[in-house]
Amino acid sequence: MHTSSDFPYGVLTLDTHHMGRTHVVASYVLFGDEPAIVDPGPASTLPQIEAGLAQHDMSLADIKHVVLTHIHLDHAGATGGIVERNPSVQVHVHTRGASHLIDPSRLLNSAAQLYGDQMDALWGRTVPVPQAAITTLTGGERLNLGGRTLQAYDSPGHAKHHLVWHDDESGAAFVGDNVGVRLPLLHFARPATPPPDVDLEAWLGTLDMILGLKPRWLMLTHFGGFNDVDFHVADFRKRLLHWADLVRDGLASGLSETELGVAFVAQAEAEAATLSEEERAAMTQQSGAIISSWRGLARYWQKKAAQ
């Protein structure tokens, strides 16, 4: 078994070196008659995308499509900048996410509450995407990239506007954040469950859907391609359910949200203490704070209780 990042045929893994670090945010280039970028990453790392393309004698002018799994800033923030530079690019996004591309102000405001004066350094200049550049989908569509086709699948759970894209030719499934965060060569996947959309039932359905595709590769944004598909999904599902249970039990204890958040982070860090150094980094440093995952799961349970 190997877990190399760029094995699927005609798929290039680009490391965006987010905040100068490797293996945090991946972007994918699909070669072919109509080259495409899947999840170009945050606006702040667009120069890294250009540098990666240049190594293959390409530039943004060659890109025909931007294909989005979902519109979170670490996946789609660069989209407006790409269209600004190449207005002929077509952007493919879930119907429920399109409005946040056209007017990112709400997305940016809620991110600003979380990241404050770190916004610029983290995400760069996120510019609107013109409506005319956008094609919306709900899952079930086939996207023709000039001889290469991607099949779109509705995949709620991490976000209600999430799509999984399956490339028949390479067997790669671009799964965005639906199967968590994992570093190359590690046998360990952690959930990323930020507010506001986390939906556990929908998420478990999405995991079954992904397994049903029988993909040869899971292409994670955080980070890279993995071909031990059954192991990965099972390991991720186990940890997602474990975290969800911890948050639910905490909420039932009557402690304050601040106390619960602190306790949850401590629990996750204690779990990480038994892991290797790299696994510990994957758990506690890569791609989003654990407290944000507590908030997303807490919000899910609170919404469910109010129903």
Judged by the rule CB under 5 A, the positions of this chain that interact with Zn ion are 72, 177
DSSP-assigned states of every residue in 67-117: E-S---HHHHTTHHHHHHH-TT-EEEEETTTHHHHH-THHHHHHHHHHHGG
Least CB distance from residue 110 to Zn ion, whole Å? Answer: 13
Q: Which is nearer to Zn ion, 13 or 221 (CB)?
A: 221
The alpha carbon dihedral of 204, 213, 229, 154 has a sign of negative
Least CB distance from residue 241 to Zn ion, whole Å? Answer: 19
Q: Which is nearer to Zn ion, 53 or 73 (CB)?
A: 73
Among residues 196, 220, 215, the alpha carbon closest in space to that of 282 is found at 220
Q: Which is nearer to Zn ion, 69 or 170 (CB)?
A: 69
What count of residues does the chain have?
307
Least CB distance from residue 37 to Zn ion, whole Å? Answer: 17
Backbone angles phi, psi at 79, to 5 degrees: -60, -50
Q: Which is nearer to Zn ion, 72 or 100 (CB)?
A: 72
Backbone angles phi, psi at 185, to 5 degrees: 75, -5
Among residues 123, 73, 68, the alpha carbon closest in space to that of 91 is found at 68
Q: Which is nearer to Zn ion, 170 or 287 (CB)?
A: 287
Least CB distance from residue 221 to Zn ion, whole Å? Answer: 8
Least CB distance from residue 267 to Zn ion, whole Å? Answer: 23
Residue, CB closest to Zn ion: 72
Q: Please report which helix (H) or strand (E) contains residue 212, including its range.
A: helix 200-212
